[in-house]
C-alpha cells in the first residue's frame, strides 16, 4: 500500500524546488513587484471594488466555459486553489491595470507619436545569397520573367527555413530590420524587385508585399502601456532595494 504522507508537499520543499529550478529569484521578484504595486496604489487612493472583481470572475468563467458553479469549483480544485485565492489574484491584476492607467495613460499617445517610425511594419520577401554573380543573374531572370521570385528563393536562398517559405519574412517592424535595408524597403513601391544589396549576411534580393503605416490600435496602446509600467516597476524596485541596502 502506498504511503500517501510521502505525497504531501511542505512549503520548504516548494522553496527548495524553486531554487533548484533557478526560478526562486523570479518568483520573489514577482512578489516584490506586487508589494510595490499595492503601496503605490494605496498612496494614490486606487482601489478595486467587489463589483469589479465579480465582473472579472464572470468574464473569466465565460472565457473558460465554466458555465455552472460546479464547473468552476471543479476547475479551482484541479488548479489546487480556492475561490478566495482566485479572487486575490484577480484583485492584484486589476489593481496593476488601474495603477498603470493612472501613471501612464496620458503618456502613451505622445510616446507613440515620438516613436512613430518604430511602429511602421512591412510584409516582404527576401532571398539571401553568398554569391554576387548569382544574385545579379537571379535579379535579371526574375525581372525578365524567366523565374519567379518565390521559386528563386525556394531554390537558391542560403537559409533552409527561408527556402521552405519561398523567401517569406512576414510582417516585420522597421526597428527589427537593418537600417540600410529598412530605408529602402519603406520607400519602395510594393511588388518592385530590389537588389542586390550587400550586407554582412550576403547579397539580398527583396520584394515588398505591403507597407503597413503605424496605428495606435487598442493592442498597441496596451503594449506601450505595459512596457512603460514594466520599466517603472523595475526602477521602483531597484530604488527601494538600494535604499534598503544603504539603511543597513
Domain layout of the chain by residue ranges:
9-110+222-247, 121-212
Cα 226 off chain centre by: 10
Do the bridges between strand 121-129 and strand 168-173 make them parallel or antiparallel, or are there none, so unpaired?
antiparallel
pLDDT at 9: 84
**pLDDT score recorded for residue 2:** 55
Q: Which of 152, 96, 164 is nearest to 128 (CA)?
A: 152
Task: Report the alpha-carbon distance of residue 81 to residue 86 in Å, rounded.
Answer: 7
Residue 161 and residue 154: Cα distance in Å, rounded? 9
pLDDT of residue 43: 96
234 touches 240 (CB < 8 A): no
Q: Is the pTM of this model over 0.75?
A: no
Confidence (pLDDT) at 80: 92
- The CATH code for residues 121-212 is 3.10.50.40
- Identify the pLDDT of residue 1: 47
pLDDT at 242: 83
pLDDT at 245: 74
The grid cell for 182 is: 529598412
Q: Are the C-beta atoms of 193 and 126 separated by less than 8 Å?
A: no
What pLDDT was estimated at residue 5?
55
Residues of the chain with pLDDT under 70: 1-7, 248
State the Cα torsion 174-175-179-184 to the nearest 10°.
Answer: 0
pLDDT digits (tens, 9 = 90+) for 197-242: 999 999 999 999 999 999 999 999 999 999 999 999 999 999 888 8
Amino acid at each position: 500500500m502506498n504511503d500517501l504522507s510521502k505525497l504531501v508537499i511542505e512549503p520548504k520543499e516548494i522553496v527548495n524546488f524553486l531554487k533548484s529550478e533557478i526560478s526562486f529569484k523570479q518568483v520573489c521578484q514577482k512578489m516584490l513587484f506586487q508589494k510595490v504595486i499595492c503601496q503605490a496604489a494605496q498612496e494614490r487612493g486606487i482601489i478595486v471594488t467587489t463589483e469589479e472583481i465579480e465582473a472579472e470572475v464572470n468574464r473569466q468563467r465565460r472565457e473558460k466555459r465554466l458555465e455552472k458553479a460546479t464547473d468552476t469549483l471543479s476547475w479551482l480544485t484541479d488548479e489546487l486553489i480556492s475561490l478566495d485565492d482566485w479572487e486575490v489574484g484577480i484583485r492584484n491584476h486589476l489593481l496593476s491595470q488601474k495603477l498603470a492607467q493612472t501613471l501612464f495613460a496620458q503618456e502613451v499617445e505622445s510616446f507613440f507619436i515620438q516613436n512613430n517610425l518604430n511602429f511602421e511594419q512591412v510584409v516582404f520577401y527576401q532571398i539571401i545569397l553568398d554569391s554576387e554573380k548569382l544574385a545579379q543573374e537571379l535579379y535579371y531572370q526574375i525581372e525578365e520573367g524567366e523565374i519567379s521570385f518565390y521559386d528563386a528563393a525556394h531554390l537558391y536562398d542560403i537559409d533552409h527555413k527561408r527556402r521552405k517559405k519561398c523567401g517569406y519574412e512576414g510582417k516585420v517592424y522597421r526597428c527589427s530590420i537593418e537600417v540600410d535595408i529598412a530605408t529602402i524597403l519603406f520607400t519602395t513601391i510594393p511588388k518592385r524587385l530590389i537588389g542586390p544589396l550587400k550586407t554582412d549576411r550576403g547579397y539580398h534580393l527583396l520584394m515588398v508585399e505591403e507597407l503597413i503605416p503605424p496605428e495606435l490600435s487598442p493592442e498597441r496602446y496596451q503594449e506601450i502601456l505595459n512596457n512603460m509600467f514594466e520599466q517603472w516597476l523595475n526602477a521602483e524596485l531597484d530604488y527601494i532595494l538600494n535604499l534598503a541596502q544603504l539603511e543597513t
